[in-house]
Amino acid sequence: MRIISLEVPHMEKGERHRNYDPEFKKEVLRLVAEGRPPIKVAEDLGIRPNLIAAWRKREKKEVGAVAFAQAGGKVLTPEEENKALRDELAVTRRERDILKKALAIFSKEPQSR
């Protein structure tokens, strides 16, 4: 197992939120994808475990469930892949419907008084 040294910027007193650069997030997600427990990774790096969960959720949403699983090295069963694709299709259809409604609203002629 390869050990990576990541420098985590510490929060200043009174600072509420810390922004982490994309490379740091990617490296954290890679460590978790390799099988290290998220709680242990968070503890080692001095970050909150819920941050890792949020980053994983965001990445999964951005790249799609199938691509997310494949990028993490996990092989999906056909049933899992079908479910992921159905979920992704449902999201895409909702987005399409919203865009159709927005187009209808914004393409109407303004009413003259």
List the chain domain ranges. Answer: 22-106
Nearest of 35, 75, 32 to residue 54 by alpha carbon: 32
Render 11-32 in DSSP notation, one character per residue: PPTT-------HHHHHHHHHHH
Angle (deg, nearest 10), helices 22-33 and 38-45 = 140
Please state, in angstroms and rounded to a whole number, the distance separating the CA atoms of residues 21 and 46.
15
pLDDT on residue 43: 92
Per-residue confidence in pLDDT tens, the chain, 113 aa:
455 555 555 545 544 667 888 889 888 988 888 888 989 999 998 999 899 999 888 887 777 666 666 666 666 788 888 888 898 899 999 999 999 999 988 888 777 66
pLDDT at residue 77, as a whole number = 81
Provide the pLDDT for residue 58.
Answer: 83
**Which among 39, 6, 4 has a CA at the least distance from the CA of 21?**
6
Is the Cβ–Cβ distance between 70 and 79 less than 8 Å? no
